[in-house]
């Protein structure tokens, strides 16, 4: 790849990012947001926090210990849901490295990191979490 192509790509990315960032607003609840219109529909996009739960390095617990960790994991999810933090949660339907997802209705990624780190499955190393900002249209629901 040529140096000139790399510099042009970097320049284009920078201009695009700066231009897009200038349209961002912070709504009344402290979330980053922007509006986009497609045809006759206007969407209010909002930044949420997405968490990918993956199999952790410590999965050799006894069945009894694994069940106790899972019980604590479920109780922790219930507390986060009850507090209004957790909007979506669920496991994957196969036995891959990807174990489940969370989508948080929280405007601060550090708060989400703290909440996730309180999970007994994370603390035990049975799960690890990847945490990312994630955009979706406000009010989007699953069918």
- In tens digits, what is the pLDDT along the chain, a chain of 143 residues? 555 555 555 545 444 554 455 478 998 889 999 898 889 988 889 999 999 999 999 999 999 999 999 999 999 999 999 999 999 999 999 999 999 999 999 999 999 999 999 999 999 999 999 999 999 998 888 77
List the one residue out of 116, 100, 118 whose CA is nearest residue 54. 100
Give 33-56 pLDDT, tens digit per residue: 989 888 998 888 999 999 999 999
46, 133 in Cβ contact below 8 A? no
**CA-to-CA distance for 23 and 8, rounded, in angstroms?**
23
| Domain architecture of the chain: domains with CATH | 3-41 (no CATH), 46-137 (3.30.70.1060)
**CA-to-CA distance for 90 and 99, rounded, in angstroms?**
9
**What is residue 139's predicted lDDT score, i.e. its pLDDT?**
85
Counting residues of the chain whose pLDDT is more than 90, the rounded percentage is 69
**CA-to-CA distance for 33 and 44, rounded, in angstroms?**
7
For the residues of the chain, what is the DSSP string, one character each? --HHHHHHHHHHHHHHHHHHHTT-EE-TTS-EEEEEEETTEEEEEEEEEEEEEEE-S-----HHHHHHHHHHHHHHHHHHHHTT-EEEEEE-SS-SSEEEEEEE--S-HHHHHHHHHT-HHHHTTSEEEEEEEEEEETT----
């Amino acid at each position: 790849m040529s140096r000139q192509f790399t510099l042009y790509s970097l320049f284009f990315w920078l201009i695009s990012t700066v231009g897009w960032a200038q349209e961002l607003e912070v709504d009344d609840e402290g979330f980053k947001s922007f509006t986009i219109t497609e045809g006759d529909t206007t969407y209010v996009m909002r930044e949420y926090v997405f968490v990918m739960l993956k199999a952790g390095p410590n999965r050799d617990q006894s069945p009894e210990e694994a069940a106790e960790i899972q019980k604590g994991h479920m109780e922790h999810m219930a507390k986060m849901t009850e507090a209004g933090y957790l909007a979506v949660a669920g496991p994957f339907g196969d036995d891959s490295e990807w174990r489940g997802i969370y989508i948080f209705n929280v405007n601060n990624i550090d708060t989400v990191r703290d909440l996730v780190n309180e999970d007994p499955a994370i603390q035990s190393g049975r799960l690890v979490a990847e945490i990312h900002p994630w955009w979706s249209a406000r009010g989007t629901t699953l069918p």
